[in-house]
Amino acid sequence: MNNFTYYVPTKVYFGKGQISHLVELKESGSKVLLVYGGGSIKKLGIYNTVMALLRKIGLNIYELPGIEPNPRIESVRKGVQLCKENKIDMVLAVGGGSVIDAAKVIAGGAVYGGDPWSLVIHPQYILKALPVYTVLTLSATGSEMNGNAVISDLKAHEKWGTYSPFFKPKMSICDPEYTYSVSAKQTASGTADIMSHTFENYFTTVPGGFLQEKFCESVLMTCIKYGPAALEDPKDYEARAALMWASSNAINGLLNAGTGVAWCVHPMEHELSAFYDITHGEGLAILTPHWMRFALNDDTVVKFANYGRNVWGIFGGDDYEVANAAIDRTAEFFTKELHIPGTLREVGIEDDKYFREMAAKAAAGSKGSFVPLTAEDVEGIYRAAL
Amino acid sequence: MNNFTYYVPTKVYFGKGQISHLVELKESGSKVLLVYGGGSIKKLGIYNTVMALLRKIGLNIYELPGIEPNPRIESVRKGVQLCKENKIDMVLAVGGGSVIDAAKVIAGGAVYGGDPWSLVIHPQYILKALPVYTVLTLSATGSEMNGNAVISDLKAHEKWGTYSPFFKPKMSICDPEYTYSVSAKQTASGTADIMSHTFENYFTTVPGGFLQEKFCESVLMTCIKYGPAALEDPKDYEARAALMWASSNAINGLLNAGTGVAWCVHPMEHELSAFYDITHGEGLAILTPHWMRFALNDDTVVKFANYGRNVWGIFGGDDYEVANAAIDRTAEFFTKELHIPGTLREVGIEDDKYFREMAAKAAAGSKGSFVPLTAEDVEGIYRAAL
């Protein structure tokens, strides 16, 4: 096991009606920037509830609606300007990971002299941030309980993740009922995202992480059980709650404490989203089985076989047989149980014209991979997934 | 799943050489009370390292050595007096759970007007505390990452747990190498304690905690794998690291988030320690299989069978057969693999003269139990374990 620092200061209020804890925002000042997305929170009544609570404690509320599914640097710049002009004290994100990610970089940009894109490209420039609060409405990115943020500059085909401990939310309200209305497509995509975060932690070359490996398998089995259940009945509270708590724990530092993290598929997907603006979780689900087939070799077969036995309950056969069966089951799960498209063509990527450029960037962004990934390897995976 | 608040603000520095982070204590003031036990930290050189680091940052150091294995209220009172007389700013515990527990109640008592025993009996009186820091030297109680403390008044045969969010350590240094010299008896006892914390969380009647159940199984499998390994080779870093990280996660809120916690065996053991001052983990290991046999019935058999299949890999047979085999394996593991005595007589409890009195207290302290426990039931379990 490697040395590690574990630090998750976010206070999570999880469950029905926990929104009432929003009154604790008064600890952080008198002016709040409310950041949200396309307006679904208005349709669902969450917006009115939030506004009523913020008014009750006498906060001055400034609003930044319209954060995009792959949040754009232009929106972040708007938020930063609002914060600076109005001397905002704190940022409240109400939405999914995109909204929370944008809110984090806004919170950093508000107390930074330069352009916020610098904070995306150079995490080391983030030396402080306004307090960030979140109300979660989509189980996927885990942004509600960590310091990560992914921002896109689509004009430049750039999508990068940044990180700061100062971005860790002070408080997150996680009410599974707020995800009842999440579409089947987004529920499936969110489940694939949770699983992908877990795979990135699970497939590590650092020895001694037995507990962490078991924790990863726990999250994967939870997604496999409750992803389809939430599709079957969108108002299944236990399914929505399980996915929500799994999403937070998949990427808050628990699964990779001491075992490193081998970001392999995420960097590849970020290029797909940057060039084609596709749904993140769908891109991950399409690429994952192809990456697994590429990564399976004599050094990794035991790990893949363990995955097959412990997560999918595949017994009988030698390690290679179990490993291959596990990869097949993974692909089938995404396409047949989560109903996610199985190829890049199905999500509108018709040809390979950007593959070389994307592959070069993805290979550069892949750090400490489970198996080394060259630009040629990534290009091959894109082609296999086409 | 029930509603819950998850809040683990402790910054954990885990691994070799992490002691260097002690310099961060300067954030909390200029006067520190250093609390420790019987002097093993001096023999191991940890004391000198700690003192050098504290001096390097210019802290005034006050010392309270001699904290007992079942920490006494008398020691806590001494610490509180030292804090009040010297206007101490923070408390640093260097030791195992007993030392950390004492440090917490000292930190609370230092800013409380009355006798600190009130804070043990009435957790609601704890409205603030000095910052608590820890350097862990024993993997067992998980006190390094939670707000719990157990203190004894042995003259009155009283041993009670208390809790406050203000007791959560600000920072914990967890270096597995500091546990290399822990004796076989204490290693085994600590492993049993971690497993017992996990059982208390695992055997719950709250539905919907699938992820939490899998997390519990993860911790149990880790103890089963690495407890014997640490006994076999006390300097097996991976084993010591796995047990240390398991101990923190077994009782920091992760395993019982949303699923309640059914304290059953701990209240029974606290009476054994309060009346006979035995080693906590040994008492737990002796009582656990008897409690399991008592708790096994038509309502609980599925849970016990899951335990057998998922943790012990027992297949074949119906639910009762698997459940009974799992309970037998649990008993065998404690006695044959951890070499813990299997009966109360073997730890010096020769007769049943206090059993009725102890049982009445234990039954009162058992809240939300997996199966209801009357005083008569507890007495029966004591007799079975004699």
Report the alpha-carbon angle B354-B359-B363, nearest 5. 160
pLDDT value at position B37? Answer: 96
- Is A218 in Cβ contact with B218 (below 8 Å)? yes
One-character DSSP codes across B51-93: HHHHHHTT-EEEEE----SS-BHHHHHHHHHHHHHHT--EEEE
B3: in domain: no
Question: Cβ of A3 and B16 within 8 Å?
Answer: yes
Cβ atoms of A104 and A143 within 8 Å: the answer is yes
State the DSSP H helix or E strand holding residue B287, giving kind and residue range, or none if neither. Answer: helix B280-295
* Torsion sign across C-alpha atoms A144, A150, A151, A157: negative
Residues A228, A255 within the same domain: yes
Sign of dihedral through CA atoms A345, A348, A350, A353? negative
Shared domain for B198 and B167, answered yes or no, is no
Domain presence at residue A91: yes
Contact check, Cβ <8 Å, B3/A14: yes
Kindly tell me the burial class for residue B378, based on how many C-beta atoms sit within 10 Å of its own C-beta (0-12, 13-18, 19 or more). buried
Residues A67 and A115 placed together within one structural domain of the fold: yes
Residues of chain A whose C-beta is under 8 A from some C-beta in B? 1-9, 11-18, 207-208, 210-211, 214-215, 217-219, 221-222, 225-226, 237-238, 241-242, 245-246, 249, 254, 257-258
**Do strands B171-174 and B4-14 pair parallel, antiparallel, or not at all (unpaired)?**
parallel
Alpha-carbon distance of A292 to B22, in angstroms, equals: 42
Length of chain B: 386
Query: Do residues A379 and A340 both lie within one domain?
Result: yes
Question: What tokens appear for A67 in the block?
Answer: 């954060």
Whole-angstrom Cα distance, residue B226 to residue B204? 25
Enter the tokens of residue B353: 């003269």
Distance between B14 CA and the closest CA of chain A, angstroms: 5
Tokens of A186: 């987004």
Is B292 within the bounds of a domain? yes
Give me the average pLDDT of each 10-residue run along chain A (386 residues): 96 98 98 95 96 98 95 97 98 97 98 97 97 98 97 90 96 98 97 97 92 98 98 98 98 94 89 91 98 96 97 95 98 98 96 94 79 93 97
User: Other C-beta atoms within 10 Å of B2: how many?
Assistant: 17
**Are residues A70 and A159 in contact, defined by beta-carbon separation less than 8 angstroms?**
yes
* Residue B5 included in any domain: no
Task: State whether A17 and B3 contact (CB < 8 Å).
Answer: yes
Closest approach of B173 to chain A, Cα-based (Å): 10
- Residue B115's CB is within 10 A of a number of other CB atoms, namely 14
Rounded to whole angstroms, the Cα distance separating B118 from B279 reads 25
Say yes or no: A208 and A265 in one domain.
yes
Q: What is chain B's Cα-based Rg?
A: 20
Please judge whether B208 and A16 are an interchain contact, meaning their C-beta atoms are less than 8 angstroms apart. Answer: no
Which stretches of chain B sit within 8 Å of chain A by CB?
1-9, 11-18, 207-208, 210-211, 214-215, 217-219, 221-222, 225-226, 237-238, 241-242, 245-246, 249, 254, 257-258
Q: Which of A178, A200, A219 delimits the end of a domain?
A: A178
Q: Find the helix or strand (DSSP H, E) in which A221 lies.
A: helix A210-232
- Of A124, A150, A178, the domain-final residue: A178
CATH code, B23: 3.40.50.1970
Which residues lie closer than 8 Å to A44 by C-beta, 6 or more apart? A137, A178, A181
Instruction: State whether B151 and B242 are in the same domain.
Output: no
Give a yes or no: residue A334 inside a domain.
yes
Distance CA A191, CA A10 (A): 22
Q: Which residues from chain A sit within 8 angstroms of residue B18, using beta carbons?
A: 3
Of B12, B222, B241, the CB nearest to A5: B12
Going by C-alpha positions, the residue among B84, B221, B361 that lies closest to residue A214 is: B221
Best residue of B218, B223, B259 to probe chain A, by most A CBs closer than 10 Å:
B218
Question: Which residue bears the tokens 């002299």?
Answer: A113
Interior/surface letters B330-368, b for 16+ CB within 10 angstroms, e for the rest = bbebbbeebebbbebeebebeeeebbeebbbbbbebbee
Is the domain of B19 the same as that of B95? yes
Mean of pLDDT values over B341-362: 95
Task: Examine residue A4 and state whether it is found in any structural domain, yes or no.
Answer: no
Residues of chain B in contact with residue A7, where contact means CB-CB under 8 angstroms, are 11-12
Which residue range forms the structural domain that includes residue B168?
A: 11-178
Contact residues on chain B for A217, CB-CB shorter than 8 A: 214, 218
ipTM reported for the complex, 2 dp: 0.95
Q: Which residues contact B302 (CB under 8 A, 6 or more apart)?
A: B319
- In B, minimum Cα distance to A248 occurs at B6
**Structure token digits, residue B181:** 């010299």
Same domain, B69 and B209: no
Give the pair of three-digit tokens for residue B365. Answer: 């302290």
Residue A40 lies in a domain: yes
Using an 8 Å CB-CB cutoff, list chain A residues near B245. Answer: 1, 211, 257-258
What's the pLDDT at A18? Answer: 98
User: Cα separation of A5 and A147, whole Å?
Assistant: 14
Answer yes or no: do A225 and B214 touch at CB < 8 A: no
Residues of A with CB below 8 A from B12's CB?
A: 5-7
Q: Which residue has the tokens 């300007």?
A: A81
pLDDT digits (tens, 9 = 90+) for B88-129: 999 999 999 999 999 999 999 999 999 999 999 999 999 999
> Does B303 lie in the same domain as B156?
no
Q: A289 near A330, Cβ under 8 Å?
A: yes
Nearest to A172 by CA among A195, A142, A201: A142
Contact B6 A1 (CB under 8 A): no
Q: Crossing angle of helices B184-202/B280-295, nearest 10°? A: 40
Task: Name the token pair of B7.
Answer: 């809040």
Residues A210 and A152 in one domain: no
Strand ranges (E), A37-184 = 60-64, 90-95, 132-136, 148-153, 158-163, 171-174
Does a structural domain hold residue A3? no
From the list B5, B11, B215, the residue facing A11 with the nearest CB is B5
Q: Kindly determine whether residue A211 and residue B16, on different chains, have CB atoms separated by under 8 Å.
A: no
Residue found under tokens 């971690």: B194
Q: Both B238 and B306 in a single domain? A: yes
Distance separating alpha carbons of residues B346 and B365, to the nearest angstrom = 26
Same domain (yes/no): A242, A269:
yes
Which residues in A lie closer than 8 A to residue B241 (C-beta atoms)? 1, 208, 258
Q: Which of B147, B178, B209 is the last residue of a domain?
A: B178
H or E stretch covering B150: strand B148-153
- Chain B nearest CA to A355, separation (Å): 38
Q: How many domains does chain A contain in total?
A: 2
The per-residue DSSP string of B232-259 comes to H-TT-HHHHHHHHHHHHHHTSSSTTTTT
Token pair 């097996």 in the structure block, residue: B236
Verify whether the Cβ–Cβ distance B11 to A14 is below 8 Å: no
